[in-house]
Amino acid sequence: MGRVLVIGAGGVSTVAVKKMAMNADVFTDIMLASRTLSKCDQIAADINNIKVQTAQVDADNVEELVALFNKFKPDLVVNLALPYQDLHIMDACLEYGVSYEDTANYEPLEKAKYEYSWQWAYKDRFEKAGLTAILGCGFDPGVTGVYTAYAAKHHFDEINYLDIVDCNAGDHHKAFATNFNPEINIREITQRGKYFEEGVWKDTDPLSVHKPLNYPNVGPKESYLMYHEELESLTKHFPTIKRARFWMTFGQEYLTHLRVIQDIGMARIDPIDYNGQKIVPIQFLKAVLPNPGDLGKNYTGETSIGCRIRGMKDGKEQTYYVYNNCSHHAAYLETGAQGVSYTTGVPAMIGAKMFMKNIWKKPGVWNVEEFDPDPFMKELNEQGLPWHEQFNVDLEM
Amino acid sequence: MGRVLVIGAGGVSTVAVKKMAMNADVFTDIMLASRTLSKCDQIAADINNIKVQTAQVDADNVEELVALFNKFKPDLVVNLALPYQDLHIMDACLEYGVSYEDTANYEPLEKAKYEYSWQWAYKDRFEKAGLTAILGCGFDPGVTGVYTAYAAKHHFDEINYLDIVDCNAGDHHKAFATNFNPEINIREITQRGKYFEEGVWKDTDPLSVHKPLNYPNVGPKESYLMYHEELESLTKHFPTIKRARFWMTFGQEYLTHLRVIQDIGMARIDPIDYNGQKIVPIQFLKAVLPNPGDLGKNYTGETSIGCRIRGMKDGKEQTYYVYNNCSHHAAYLETGAQGVSYTTGVPAMIGAKMFMKNIWKKPGVWNVEEFDPDPFMKELNEQGLPWHEQFNVDLEM
């Protein structure tokens, strides 16, 4: 049905490409490219039903990207590289003329700052080129936007309160490890907290607001208010929202490790001089920490991510909780990757599938909640991320 | 009176060289050499009453060292470089024919393992060459050995119990910093604990044995049993000792930081591959952490280090506590370095002075307690590290 080029070869890519191969009727030709060819080859070697091509590419080099696009002639480029490479890849897509999908919004390399402005600024150019760009199609952002769109479409006349809750009740049995790229992880968590209320953004000290929330099949877990990028697009696209917040669980030990990593200067994103060479401490730290892609084998427990929504339906207040629980071990058995990679990689594949099937295809730059959620929700149930609904329960909001 | 060559240009060196310059009647010619010439020049530039020569030298390169010795013709080489460079410097001293002093015993680069065996093995060669080697002449080891020898000479017929207590009740006002080379600091603290009792060595998990001890002018501080190198030489040279232990204070935050540094792999002393380059994590960490030599300016509080001794005198049991308290700020005002550098650098200078004045001079390899303690004790009072005695007080032993 279509040719897909995936850029990036981490844990999320491992899942996305394997899932694409399981949907080989849609993804008839798959290429996987990253800075390190051997990583691509390793992922491709695990796939038997279809030949996955591999290539070496520097995702920051627009010319190299365009040359690769010219060679492979993709219908869609799925960007699973690092967030600060988004714009280079979008530039290359425009230059060559191919549609685009990613899972995390652009942030400048020098400053951890999450906003869609940079990517939304491409809307006109994609529209004029007749190309589709699907932004943020992992789990959060991604499924959380689809959940919200689905709730708005089927269960609410207006959504007033939205709490996105992200719990990882897993145990990788390491003293410390991050579940995805530690650089991105630490940049994200160390930023100031921010939430939307009554038309304005309110900010908090990093991780200073927290409370225990109850997660299905998990129980209570201390959850921390933090900023997450889908809050920006969802409050824009659902203007009836009075308050939108994002909560993520962290263990005390994780937070202690994080605090120390900052204290000792290893979270720094500016280069230091080491024996006459410029090295960014957080990038060196990444090389020392366990590879998130290798955590799967001994990972027990599950994730639980969902949307808790309060709003009006037929003149009455209603609450709604839609969520998925994902077992790390089941994810590992299926793809060799842990649940955090799995819950991001599967929606990336589904978004690409929506595009390939012409269901999510319209010129411009779009967040996932701007498309029809129903076919995506159907795929979630079929591709390993089944969702569950609870109506009019206590949402702890 | 004599020519001294100091190797190493860290905080201890800063203090030792400045103190040598204050004793210019003894140290008539001073040279300071290290891998980084600019550090030597910086220290030398602060000294006005005497010209301190500087040189660049790789302390691991015996030929380079010998060439430098041939040029400067020192009477004594004072090694204030890194512990795992001791043997190369001793080799060079033997090859050229010059006496030697250091402040910390040799340890192999690959493994944090503290014992005098490697250096004691040089005894015959130094003896035959008619050269003196003074080992471990900082504060601990160093002054603690002199204290013990002084106690044995003046206050005891036999020493039975020895607790060396090392308290740093200072505050450098940084989230985390080590007081001397972080590599050496972390290697030392993360090793297993060990103490001597009834003729055998008993070992413990790292920092697992601890209790509050009361320090003069400081009060109670949680103190951790750990191995320290002078326990080996003191139990050998004072065979009446039934039990010898070493205690050091650490704050809870310091220990948390240390634990995390280990957890995340930044305390590793084996090289990892970073972008095709071999980098030792703990050496990279050193480049990120505050430079111990720069802590002085805002360092408040004081150190308190001493020996608590129980033994027999004239058929009666007696207890004795001899200690020094050193103010970080006073040390900074005098030398630009904090108290931990000061308490190590001053005794290094005094040991060198003892040698230059032919008081501590005998062919062979010696620990400080094998020399007459009295002239050294007198110098301690005159050079900025006055000591105090308490008799028959509760030693918390």
The ipTM estimated for the assembled molecules is 0.72
Asked if pLDDT for residue B217 goes beyond 80, the answer is: yes
CB of A361 less than 8 A from some CB of B: no
pLDDT-wise least confident of A55-69, B24-38, B184-198: B184-198
Residue of chain B nearest A290, judged by CA positions: B264
Structure confidence at residue B179 (pLDDT): 81
User: Residue B158 is encoded by which pair of tokens?
Assistant: 């036999």
pLDDT per residue over A253-296, tens digit each? 988 998 899 899 998 989 999 988 999 999 999 999 988 878 88
pLDDT-wise least confident of A195-199, A215-219, B85-89, B183-187: B183-187
Instruction: Find out whether A106 and A136 touch, Cβ atoms under 8 Å.
Output: no
Using N-to-C axis directions, what is the helix angle for B328-335 and B11-22, rounded to 10°? 60
**Binding-face residues of A in 222-281 toward B, CB within 8 A:** 256-257, 260-261, 263-266, 268, 272-275, 279, 281
Q: Which of B77, B76, B79, B39 is nearest to B55 (CA)?
A: B39
CA gap A93, A99 in Å, rounded = 7
Structure confidence at residue B111 (pLDDT): 67
Q: For all residues of chain B together, what is the average pLDDT?
A: 94
Please give the interface size between A and B, counted as residue pairs whose CB atoms are below 8 Å apart: 65
Phi, psi values for residue B166, rounded to 5°: -125, 105
pLDDT per residue over A333-344, tens digit each? 999 999 999 999
Contact residues, chain B, for A257 at CB < 8 Å: 260, 263-264
Q: Are B287 and A272 within 8 A, CB to CB?
A: yes
Residue of chain A nearest B177, judged by CA positions: A264
Residue of B280, B283, B288 for testing the chain A interface, max A β-carbons within 10 Å: B288
Residue of chain A nearest B270, judged by CA positions: A288
Structure confidence at residue B114 (pLDDT): 74
Q: Sign (positive/negative) of CA torsion B334, B337, B338, B340?
A: negative
3-state secondary structure of A166: strand
Nearest-Cα distance to chain A for B263, in Å, is 6
pLDDT per residue over A164-192, tens digit each? 999 999 999 988 888 877 777 887 788 89
Nearest-Cα distance to chain B for A3, in Å, is 32
Structure confidence at residue B53 (pLDDT): 98
Nearest-Cα distance to chain B for A384, in Å, is 33
Confidence of residue A360 (pLDDT cuts 50, 70, 90): very high
CA gap A197, B9 in Å, rounded = 57
Asked if pLDDT for residue A112 goes beyond 70, the answer is: no
Q: Compute CA B277 distance to the chain's CA centroid, rounded to the nearest angstrom.
A: 33
Asked if the bond preceding B373 is cis, omega within 30° of 0, the reply is no
Q: Helix and strand tally (H, E) in chain B?
A: 14, 18
Sorted by where each starts, the structural domains of chain B and their CATH numbers stand as 2-135 (3.40.50.720), 143-337+387-391 (3.30.360.10)
Residue of chain B nearest A265, judged by CA positions: B288
Instruction: Find out whether B177 and B295 touch, Cβ atoms under 8 Å.
Output: yes
Confidence of residue A111 (pLDDT cuts 50, 70, 90): low
pLDDT per residue over B100-133, tens digit each? 999 988 877 666 667 898 999 999 999 999 999 9
Asked if pLDDT for residue A66 goes beyond 80, the answer is: yes
Confidence of residue B391 (pLDDT cuts 50, 70, 90): very high
Q: Are B288 and A273 within 8 A, CB to CB?
A: no
Structure confidence at residue A207 (pLDDT): 92
Q: For all residues of chain A together, what is the average pLDDT?
A: 94
Q: Which of B106, B257, B273 is nearest to B182 (CA)?
A: B257
Contact residues, chain B, for A274 at CB < 8 Å: 279, 284, 287
Nearest-Cα distance to chain B for A41, in Å, is 19
Q: Which of B23, B15, B379 is nearest to B6 (CA)?
A: B15
Phi, psi values for residue B382, rounded to 5°: -90, -20
pLDDT per residue over B130-188, tens digit each? 999 999 999 999 999 999 999 999 999 999 999 999 999 999 998 888 887 777 788 77
Q: Helix and strand tally (H, E) in chain A?
A: 14, 18
Contact residues, chain B, for A260 at CB < 8 Å: 176, 256-257, 260-261
pLDDT per residue over B289-312, tens digit each? 988 878 888 999 999 999 999 999
Q: Are B256 and A260 within 8 A, CB to CB?
A: yes
Structure confidence at residue B365 (pLDDT): 98
Structure confidence at residue A96 (pLDDT): 98
Q: Are A289 and B265 within 8 A, CB to CB?
A: yes
CB of B134 less than 8 A from some CB of A: no
Confidence of residue A25 (pLDDT cuts 50, 70, 90): very high
Contact residues, chain A, for B38 at CB < 8 Å: none
Q: What is the mean pLDDT of residues B36-62?
A: 96
Q: Are B176 and A273 within 8 A, CB to CB?
A: no
Pairing of strands A277-279, A200-204: unpaired
Q: What is the mean pLDDT of residues B358-368?
A: 98
Strands (E), chain B: 2-7, 27-34, 52-56, 76-79, 99-102, 132-135, 158-171, 193-197, 200-204, 210-215, 219-225, 243-249, 272-274, 277-279, 300-313, 316-327, 364-367, 388-391
Q: Where are the alpha helices (DSSP H) in A217-356?
A: 230-237, 252-263, 281-288, 328-335, 339-356
Residue of B175, B264, B289 with shortest CB distance to A285: B264
Nearest-Cα distance to chain A for B394, in Å, is 38
Contact residues, chain A, for B261 at CB < 8 Å: 260, 264
Nearest-Cα distance to chain B for A320, in Å, is 40
Specify the DSSP class assigned to residue A293: G
Residue of chain B nearest A260, judged by CA positions: B257
The side-by-side arrangement of strands in the sheet containing A76-79 is A52-56, A27-34, A2-7, A76-79, A99-102, A132-135, A364-367
Consecutive H or E run containing A278: strand A277-279
Q: Are B288 and A281 within 8 A, CB to CB?
A: yes
Residue of A261, A263, A265 with shortest CB distance to B264: A261
